[in-house]
Amino acid sequence: MRRARLSPVLLLLGLALLAATGCAGRRAAPVTSPSRPGREGTTAPHREKGTWHVVRRGETLWRIARRYGVTVEAIARANGIQDPTRIRAGQRLFVPGGRPDAGPSPRPRTGEGGKVPGGTWRWPVDGPVTSVFGSPRAHGRRAHSGIDIAAPAGTAVRAARAGRVTFAGRKGSYGRLVVLDHGRGFASWYAHLSRIAVRPGQHVDAGAVIGRVGTSGNATGPHLHFEIRRRGRPLDPLVFLPRGGG
C-alpha cells in the first residue's frame, strides 16, 4: 500500500497556519495592568485618578483624609489597609480623588472649633480615630453620626465640656450612653460604655470622669463612640475638637 506524501508547499502552509493560531491564542489571553507599588509595599491601581502621599510623623489617616477631602475608608480600601490606626511615618499612600496641590487641613472657622459659645471642647479620651463622621456604617443604613476613638476597655471617659447630665443609661445600639447638655443647643453623646459614673441631673465639669470605655451595645471592640449635636442635629466632632488630639 503506497503511503501518501505531502508536497513541500502544503507542509510549509500547514506549519505557518499552526504558528499563526498559536500567536492568536496568546494575544487573546487577558492582560491586566500591574499596580504601582508604594515605597512601603503599598499598592494602588495606577489608572485611578488621585495622588500619592508620604505619611509624616504624627499624622493619622483621618487627618490625611481631611487634607485631601476624601474619606478614611476610601484611602484604606485603595491601599489594602485593614486597620486604619496602623500607619507609620514614611509610608506611601495612594489617595483616590486627591489633588497633588492639596494644602494642609483647613483650620476651623471662628465659632466652629476649639472655643465655641459657652466654653472650649476637649477630647473625651486619648486614642486614634478609627471611624470618622459621615462614613458608612457596617451595621446600619445611616451614615456615622459621630466618631469612634479606640481605647483599652476600662479607660476613663471624660466630659468634653462642662454640662448637665440629661441621660445616663442604656439606649439601643448605643449600649450604655451618657448625654450632656452644654447649653445654647449643644449636647455631647458618649456611647458603648462599660460603666456609667454619673446620674441624670448631675452637673459635671470639663474633664470630669463620666464613665469607662467598653463594648456595650453594637460594638465589635472597645472604643468610645462620641457625638456632638446642636439642637438634635449631629455635627462633625473633629471640627470642634482641638487639633493634635486623637
Rounded to the nearest 10 degrees, what angle do helices 61-68 and 72-79 cross at? 110
Same-domain check for residues 236 and 186: yes
In this structure, are residues 32 and 42 in contact, taking their beta carbons and an 8 Å threshold? Answer: no
Position 137 scores a pLDDT of 53
Instruction: Please check whether residues 141 and 76 belong to one and the same domain.
Output: no
Domain match, 84 and 200 both: no
15 within a domain of the structure (yes/no): no
Could you tell me if residue 30 is inside a domain?
Answer: no
Are 200 and 85 contained in the same domain? Answer: no
Residue 188 lies in a domain: yes
Q: Tell me the backbone φ, ψ of residue 120, rounded to 5 degrees.
A: -120, 140
Q: Is 28 domain-assigned?
A: no
pLDDT of 108 reads 39
Dihedral over Cα of 57, 58, 59, 61: its sign: positive
In a shared domain, residues 172 and 209: yes
Instruction: Determine, yes or no, domain membership for 69.
Output: yes
Q: Do residues 186 and 228 make contact, with C-beta atoms less than 8 angstroms apart? A: yes
Give me the pLDDT at residue 111, please.
Answer: 36
Residues 168 and 217 in one domain: yes
- In total, how many domains does the chain have? 2
Q: Whole-angstrom Cα distance, residue 50 to residue 47?
A: 9
Characterise 184 by phi-psi region: left (phi > 0), alpha (psi -120 to 50), beta (else). Answer: left
pLDDT value of residue 133: 80
Range of the domain at 86: 36-96
Q: What is the pLDDT of residue 241?
A: 86
Same domain, yes or no, for 71 and 159?
no
Residue 160 DSSP class: S
Whether residues 57 and 143 share a domain: the answer is: no
What is the pLDDT, as a whole number, of residue 145? 86
**Pair (233, 126) in one structural domain:** yes
**Which residues are CB-neighbours of 164 under 8 A, at least 6 positions away?**
180, 181, 201, 202, 203, 204
- Termini Cα distance of the chain: 93
Maximum Cα interatomic distance, the chain, rounded to a whole number of Å: 113
CATH code where residue 81 lies: 3.10.350.10
Task: Tell me, yes or no, whether 67 lies in a domain.
Answer: yes
Which strand (E) or helix (H) includes residue 169? strand 163-170
Cα dihedral value 97, 103, 107, 110, nearest 10: -90
Residue 245 lies in a domain: no
Question: Is 9 inside any structural domain?
Answer: no
Whether residue 152 is found in the same domain as residue 182: yes
pLDDT score for 199: 97
Q: Check if the beta carbon of residue 213 is closer than 8 Å to that of residue 152.
A: yes
Q: Reduced to 3 states, what is the DSSP secondary structure of residue 44?
A: strand
Q: Identify whether residues 197 and 122 lie together within a single domain.
A: yes
d(CA 74, CA 136): 11
The predicted model scores a pTM of 0.57
Same domain, yes or no: 176 and 227:
yes
CB 168 within 8 A of CB 131: no
Tens-level pLDDT at each residue, the chain (246 residues): 455 555 555 555 555 555 444 444 444 333 333 344 344 344 444 467 889 998 887 677 877 887 888 887 888 889 988 877 678 888 899 999 887 765 554 443 333 354 544 458 999 999 888 887 876 554 445 667 899 999 999 999 999 999 999 999 999 999 999 999 999 999 999 999 999 999 999 999 999 999 999 999 999 899 999 999 999 988 888 888 886 555
User: Alpha helices of the chain — where are they, by DSSP H?
Assistant: 8-28, 61-68, 72-79, 237-240
